[in-house]
């Protein structure tokens, strides 16, 4: 049943009081006690800097930090030596644009994005394109919210150096056929970056099987802390540094500085040590739940929610039935912000707005959508509360 998991899982989230229905996990996930405990323990008992101390506490912390790197890598089937900790997916994409991008793109080269990308997978490429004189092309999406790979195949040329796509859409929840997209990119000699923000917490990911060149994600969407995420790429050792500072160097003189090997070269300054430990706890927690199991759970909730929502007159549903835990919709004649405000009164937290995907809103011809997104702790009760809240919206707006 949809609620089979509920009591056991929901009870692990102290941030979810009885009667509150959190349907905004796609923005950021609530934290299980195991993650909160790991962070508290790290600050209260184990805290010290990494990579520098010769004393035992620091050596232990360094081990924990590197163990977190291994966990971050193995979550998506990558290698620790290919994995850099960043502030999140946004910083990871900026790193690739500024380091790999500036080194590899020149005037006239092309970058392929899609209509449904998050601003963080658009703006860094626009900045790069402006700097080097590259051109950005936009792959269209289908009516049910999927990146159109047939169109992509026709659009890709030898001038394309990079393809950057969301693995799972943060608005529709649609899942990209990442392996096919990678093969199409590689066929013309382009590299491919996958934005795994919504995929890593929701579906099993194996970048070895996908074959992509860059994979990025954020811990806070994966039941972990804010301020940390990861980039995994086998190309790191050929890439120049992104930021300069302590910890990323081999030897510094005023005449010349040589850099540490990857991934250290990309981690200037004291890192988010406890963030990495929280990320590790989150990865362990996700694995205990079994992400395939979670995907089935969230897919069941999507199917149930879409069926219920489709009964509401004047409601437009976006995306497709096989979405990974995310449902977007609009009610005729009611702004999303009004829907979300009334739902909030009813104890239901949803996101309303452009979801950092303004070009997608333009494509849909709307200024906003209402988005309900599910997580491990979500249940049919949350969907029922959403439906009840929407009845109230309908009553108020006639
Ligand atoms: N890409 C997608 C698909 C997202 O959903 C998000 C977060 N909304 C981001 C990128 C940016 O992630 P962050 O803000 O954690 O860097």
Q: Distances from the Cα of 204 to the Cαs of 57, 201, 286, in angstroms? A: 35, 8, 11
Closest by alpha carbon to 200, among 357, 92, 42? 92
Structure tokens at 314: 């004047």
Cβ of 18: how many Cβ atoms within 10 Å?
6
Question: Minimal CA–CA distance to 214: which of 261, 162, 264?
Answer: 162
Say what the pTM is.
0.97
Ligand 1 within 6 A of 166 CB?
yes
Closest residue by Cα to atom 12, ligand 1, is: 89
Element (H, E) at 194: strand 191-195
Q: Alpha-carbon Rg of the chain, whole angstroms?
A: 22
Contact 174, 145 (CB under 8 A): yes
Give the ipTM of the model, two decimals please: 0.96
| Residue in 139, 197, 212, 356 annotated catalytic | 356
| Active site (annotated) includes residue 197 | no
Specify whether the CB–CB gap between 314 and 331 falls below 8 A: yes
Q: Which long-range contacts (CB under 8 A, 24 or more apart) does 125-132 make?
A: 125/97, 125/101, 125/162, 125/164, 127/97, 128/97, 128/98, 128/101, 128/102, 129/105, 131/102, 132/101, 132/102, 132/105, 132/106, 132/107
Task: Report CA(351)–ligand 1 centroid distance (Å).
Answer: 14
Whole-number Å distance, alpha carbon 89 to ligand 1 midpoint, is 6
State how far the Cα of 113 lies from the Cα of 141, in Å rounded to an integer. Answer: 11
| Residue found by looking up tokens 């080269």 in the block | 109
Residue 145 CB burial class (10 angstroms; 0-12, 13-18, ≥19): buried
* Per-residue pLDDT at 398: 78
Nearest alpha-carbon partner for 300 in 6, 29, 28, 32: 6
Distance in Å, CA 195 to ligand 1 centroid: 8
> What are 308's two structure tokens?
């219920």
Ligand 1 atom nearest the C-alpha of 226 is: 15
| Separation of first and last alpha carbons in the chain | 35
Which parts of the chain register pLDDT below 50?
Answer: 1
Residue of 173, 218, 354 with the most ligand 1 atoms within 8 Å of its CB, for mutation: 218
| Pocket perturbation via mutation, ligand 1, pick of 197, 222, 226, 358 by most ligand atoms within 8 A of CB | 197
- Residue 1, pLDDT score: 43
Q: How far is the CA of 162 from the centre of ligand 1 (A)?
A: 19
Cα–Cα distance measured from residue 377 to residue 30, given in angstroms and rounded to the nearest whole number: 9
- 387 three-class SS: helix
Which ligand 1 atom is at minimum distance from the Cα of 221? 15
């Amino acid at each position: 049943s949809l609620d089979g998991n509920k009591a056991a899982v929901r009870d692990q989230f102290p941030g979810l009081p009885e009667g509150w229905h959190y349907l905004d996990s796609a923005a950021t996930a609530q934290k299980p006690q195991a993650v909160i405990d790991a962070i508290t323990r790290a600050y209260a008992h184990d805290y010290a800097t990494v990579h520098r101390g010769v004393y035992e506490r620091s050596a232990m912390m360094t081990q924990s930090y590197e163990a977190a790197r291994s966990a971050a890598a193995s979550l998506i089937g990558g290698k620790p030596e290919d994995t850099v900790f960043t502030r999140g997916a946004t910083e990871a994409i900026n790193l690739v644009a500024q380091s790999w991008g500036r080194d590899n793109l020149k005037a006239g080269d092309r970058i392929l994005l899609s209509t449904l990308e998050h601003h963080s997978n658009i703006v860094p490429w626009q900045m790069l394109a402006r700097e080097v004189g590259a051109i950005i092309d936009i792959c269209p999406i289908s009516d049910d919210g999927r990146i159109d790979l047939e169109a992509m195949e026709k659009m890709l040329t030898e001038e394309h150096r990079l393809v950057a796509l969301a693995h799972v859409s943060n608005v529709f929840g649609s899942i990209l056929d990442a392996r096919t997209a990678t093969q199409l990119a590689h066929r013309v000699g382009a590299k491919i970056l996958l934005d795994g923000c919504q995929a890593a917490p929701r579906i099993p990911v194996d970048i070895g099987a996908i074959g992509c060149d860059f994979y990025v994600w954020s811990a806070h969407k994966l039941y972990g802390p804010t301020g940390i995420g990861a980039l995994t790429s086998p190309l790191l050792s050929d890439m120049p540094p992104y930021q300069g500072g302590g910890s990323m160097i081999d030897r510094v003189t005023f005449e010349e500085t040589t850099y540490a090997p990857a991934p250290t070269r990309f981690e200037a300054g004291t890192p988010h040590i406890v963030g990495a430990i929280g990320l590790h706890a989150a990865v362990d927690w996700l694995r205990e739940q079994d992400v395939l199991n979670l995907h089935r759970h969230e897919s069941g909730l999507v199917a149930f929610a879409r069926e219920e929502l489709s009964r509401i007159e004047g409601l437009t549903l976006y995306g497709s039935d096989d979405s990974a835990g995310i449902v977007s919709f609009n009610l005729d004649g009611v702004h999303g912000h009004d829907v979300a405000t009334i739902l909030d009164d009813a104890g239901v937290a949803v996101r309303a707005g452009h979801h950092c995907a303004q070009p997608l809103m333009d494509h849909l011809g709307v200024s906003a959508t209402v988005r309900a997104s599910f997580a491990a702790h979500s249940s049919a009760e949350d969907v029922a509360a959403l439906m009840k809240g929407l009845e109230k919206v309908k009553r108020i707006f006639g």
